[in-house]
């Protein structure tokens, strides 16, 4: 039995995760959700005074905005679209007959105007673009959303539907890179407070295909993405639980995000993989929260 399966079995046996029969799609217990809620309050304690504008988008986004983002060009293997039955009575009869013989009833489904949100920040950029020019000081936004990535796995840290908490900063190059460095420092401090061993390393997104490999190399060469890695299912291959991304002016140019003086805005974001952080805590400290170290429990607001 590999370590991924072993941890997943322990999470199922303890009731922290609930098996749905689909790899990477799990229910969560109240205790698991409480850990996430408490960690989000820790995030608020570190970032709340920054004055970010909070927004919460649903786990589906406008398909036209998704297409504009370029996600399907770079990560087609991860994307999820929403399809529905759009037929009439005759089509419905055909559907029923197909299901009666266990046929492929999905073949006549039609794409809707909704796609599954791939990252919490994706609906933000067109939203801010609609407002017009950003103030000279730029903008700072606090986001949280369920996200979808099609990568089924028995690794509990690689879920298909998961929550991402993000802060997104828009402004000048100097402003957004300072924002990113601040959160890199905060991330290390936060994880130390909850007793997690971490490393920081340069990283790249999982771009698809031959051209994608070139994009990944460029991303690493320019230090555009860093990840905070924590052992979850493997000490040798720790899991990315936070990411720190500098997009240069790519999103600003794509979405028409301009500062008050007309300059194209640069953007950066910090992302927290909430399920992954909770899993790292359970993997490190055990399945029984009551037995976690006292300093970790205190940091998360548990009463002893």
* Angle of helix 274-285 versus helix 3-13 axis, rounded to 10: 90
Whole-number percent of the chain with pLDDT over 90: 88
CA neighbor of 53 nearest in space, from 173, 172, 143, 184: 143
Instruction: Tell me what the mean pLDDT of segment 292-296 comes to.
Output: 97
User: What confidence score (pLDDT) does residue 203 get?
Assistant: 86
Is the per-residue pLDDT at 277 higher than 90? yes
Question: Which residue matches tokens 């300093």?
Answer: 295
The pTM assigned to this predicted structure is 0.94
Q: What are phi and psi of 110, to 5 degrees?
A: -115, 145
Q: Could you give the C-alpha distances from 228 to 89, 183, 203, 277, in angstroms and in order?
A: 53, 11, 10, 11
Q: Could you give the C-alpha distances from 112 to 60, 66, 80, 115, 202, in angstroms and in order?
A: 11, 12, 12, 8, 37
The rounded distance, in Å, linking the Cα atoms of 134 and 157 is 37
- Mean confidence (pLDDT) of the chain: 95
DSSP β-bridge partners for residue 273: 164
User: What confidence score (pLDDT) does residue 5 get?
Assistant: 65
64-85 tens-digit pLDDT: 999 999 999 899 999 999 999 9
The rounded distance, in Å, linking the Cα atoms of 121 and 128 is 11
Is the per-residue pLDDT at 303 higher than 90? no
Confidence grade of residue 185 (pLDDT, cut at 50, 70, 90): very high
CA geometry: angle 264, 267, 270, nearest 5 deg: 175
Higher pLDDT, 205 or 31: 31
Is the per-residue pLDDT at 101 higher than 60? yes
216-249 tens-digit pLDDT: 888 888 888 999 999 999 899 999 999 999 999 9
Which sequence spans correspond to the domains of the chain?
Answer: 3-28+36-77+118-299, 81-115
List b or e across 119-132, with b for residues whose CB sees 16 or more CB atoms inside 10 angstroms. bbbbbbbbebbeee
Instruction: Tell me what the mean pLDDT of segment 259-278 comes to.
Output: 98
Select the CATH number that applies to the domain covering 3-28+36-77+118-299 from these four: 3.30.70.20, 3.40.50.10440, 3.40.50.2020, 3.30.930.10.
3.30.930.10
Is the per-residue pLDDT at 2 higher than 70? no
By the 10 Å C-beta count (0-12 exposed, 13-18 middle, 19+ buried), 142 is classed as buried
């Amino acid at each position: 039995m590999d370590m991924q399966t072993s941890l997943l079995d322990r999470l199922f046996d303890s009731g922290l995760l609930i098996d749905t029969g689909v790899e990477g799609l799990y229910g969560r217990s109240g205790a698991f959700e409480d850990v996430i809620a408490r960690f989000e309050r820790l995030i608020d304690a570190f970032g709340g005074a920054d004055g970010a504008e909070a927004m919460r988008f649903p786990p589906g986004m406008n398909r036209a905005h998704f297409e504009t983002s370029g996600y399907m060009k770079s990560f087609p293997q991860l994307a999820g679209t929403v399809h529905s039955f759009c037929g009439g009575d005759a089509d419905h009869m055909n559907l029923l007959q197909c299901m009666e013989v266990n046929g492929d009833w999905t073949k006549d489904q039609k794409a809707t105007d909704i796609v599954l949100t791939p990252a919490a920040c994706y609906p933000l950029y067109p939203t801010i673009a609609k407002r017009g020019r950003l103030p000279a000081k730029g903008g700072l936004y606090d986001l949280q959303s369920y996200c979808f990535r099609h990568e089924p796995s028995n690794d509990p840290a690689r879920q298909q539907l998961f929550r991402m908490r993000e802060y997104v900063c828009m402004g000048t190059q100097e402003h957004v890179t300072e924002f990113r460095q601040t959160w890199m420092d905060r991330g290390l401090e936060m994880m130390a407070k909850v007793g997690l061993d971490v490393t920081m390393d340069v990283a790249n997104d999982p771009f698809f295909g031959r051209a994608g490999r070139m994009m990944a190399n460029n991303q690493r060469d320019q230090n555009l993405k860093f990840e905070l890695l924590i052992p979850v299912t493997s000490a040798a291959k720790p899991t990315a639980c936070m990411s720190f991304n500098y997009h240069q002016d790519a999103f600003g140019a794509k979405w028409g995000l301009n500062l008050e003086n007309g300059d194209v805005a640069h953007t950066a974001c910090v992302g927290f993989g909430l399920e992954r952080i909770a899993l790292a805590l359970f993997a490190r400290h055990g399945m029984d929260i009551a037995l976690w170290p006292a300093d970790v429990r205190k940091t998360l607001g548990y009463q002893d």
